Every structure is written in C-alpha cells, then in structure tokens.
Amino acid sequence: MPWNGTMRQRMAVWRAIAQLTQADAAQLAGVSLATWSRWERGTHRIPYREWQRLARMIEAWAFEHDLRPDASTGGSRPVQAERSEP
C-alpha cells in the first residue's frame, strides 16, 4: 500500500488490493458512488474530516489484513506484520 502517497492514491490502491468496486468502497465509506469517484479521481477535494475517516478506515483494514508500511522502502510496499506472542 503506498502509505506515502496522496489519499486518492491510497484509496485506489486499497480498493484494488481489497478487490472492491468503487460502489463497494463508497458503501463502506458511507458516501455516494459519485462522491467516491470524484475523490478518487481528484476532481473534488476531500473534506478534512472525511479524509481523516478514510485514513482510519484504510489503515484499520490494512492492520486487520496484516499489512503495514515497510520502513526500508519509505513505506511504499506492504509487508507481513510481526506479531508478538503474549
């Protein structure tokens, strides 16, 4: 996942990795398909509160699927997360 990219890049890559359509992603984000599409294309600015909510949603999904930024590449590719045993 391009953790160092723009939000619209993160949205598109997340959607591709998660194998979601724009309609699926929009429904998960609680916005219309038209809104999601405009944000992902960059034709409309994402309001700050929505940007924060999307960032949390995408990062929660990445965590849930054991993906995290790889510091050795500037955070540009997912790697398997390390889990500590209790």
DSSP state of 85: -
pLDDT over 70, % of the chain:
73
The pTM of the whole model exceeds 0.75: no
Q: What fold does the segment set 7-80 form as a domain?
A: 434 Repressor (Amino-terminal Domain) (1.10.260)
pLDDT digits (tens, 9 = 90+) for 9-66: 889 988 998 899 999 999 999 999 999 999 999 999 999 999 999 989 988 888 888 7
Q: Please give the distance of CA 10 from its chain centroid, rounded to a whole number.
A: 5
Condensed to tens digits (0 to 9), the pLDDT of residues 18-28 reads 899 999 999 99
By C-alpha distance, which of 64, 66, 67, 56 is closest to 29? 56
Going by pLDDT thresholds of 50, 70 and 90, the confidence category of residue 74 is very low
Residue boundaries of the structural domains of the chain: 7-80
Taking residue 2's Cβ as centre, other Cβ atoms within 10 Å add up to: 16
CA distances from 24 to 20, 36, 37, 52, 75 (A): 6, 10, 11, 19, 26
Residue 71 pLDDT exceeds 80:
no
